[in-house]
């Protein structure tokens, strides 16, 4: 059995009438463990590790774009109101990773917020570290886009995921 450590970056995107006063964000979940046995792969991602990295403007993460209170409010809302982490404290992936070139074609089921849905993505790497990027629609897991100010500000029903996996156990 091989083990790896994972880091997820989740990019959220705003929309709505007052979206100009809201922010696109990058959230982070890390570290989490990934186990591979042959082509079988499993990962458990504790949601309590969720942190706000910062505001994203023109594709660049700006860590200073939010103060500590704003970060705490966003993290609390994401865990409590969006992911319901009190009832579902982890996301879990169970699937296969088929070698392809210098990476893997990955497919399986992601369990999140009490529901499971299929996902597929590609990881590219150098034999020790791998990266993948893919989109998810939260409504596939019954997660409604977060809304504020009576829906004048809301998140799109699409998040972008960047996954990095490095061989070895989490620190």
Burial group, residue 135, by CB count within 10 angstroms (0-12, 13-18, 19+)? exposed
Q: What share of the chain in percent tops pLDDT 70?
A: 90
The 10s digit of each residue's pLDDT in 98-123 is 999 999 999 999 999 999 999 999 99
Q: What share of the chain in percent tops pLDDT 90?
A: 71
Burial group, residue 165, by CB count within 10 angstroms (0-12, 13-18, 19+)? buried
More confident residue, 107 or 66: 107
| Helix H or strand E encompassing 153 | strand 153-155
Question: For the chain, what is the mean pLDDT?
Answer: 89
Among residues 46, 40, 32, 43, the alpha carbon closest in space to that of 1 is found at 40
What CATH number should be reported for the domain whose range is 2-167? 2.40.128.110
pLDDT at 30 over 50: yes
């Amino acid at each position: 059995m091989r083990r790896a450590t994972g880091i997820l970056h989740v990019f959220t995107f705003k929309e709505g009438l007052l979206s100009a006063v809201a922010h696109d964000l990058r959230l982070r979940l890390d570290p989490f463990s990934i186990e591979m046995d042959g082509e079988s792969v499993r990962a458990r991602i504790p949601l309590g590790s969720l942190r706000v990295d910062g505001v994203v403007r023109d594709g660049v993460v700006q860590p200073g774009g939010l103060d500590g209170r704003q970060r705490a409010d966003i993290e609390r809302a994401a865990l409590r109101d969006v992911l319901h982490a009190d009832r579902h404290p982890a996301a879990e992936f169970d699937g296969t990773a088929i070698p392809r070139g210098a990476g893997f074609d990955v497919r399986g089921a992601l369990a999140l917020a009490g529901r499971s849905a299929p996902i597929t993505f590609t990881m590219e790497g150098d034999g020790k570290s791998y990266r993948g990027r893919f989109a998810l629609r939260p409504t596939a897991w019954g997660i409604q886009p977060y809304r504020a100010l009576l829906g004048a500000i809301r998140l799109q029903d699409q998040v972008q995921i960047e996954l990095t996996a490095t061989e070895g156990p989490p620190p």
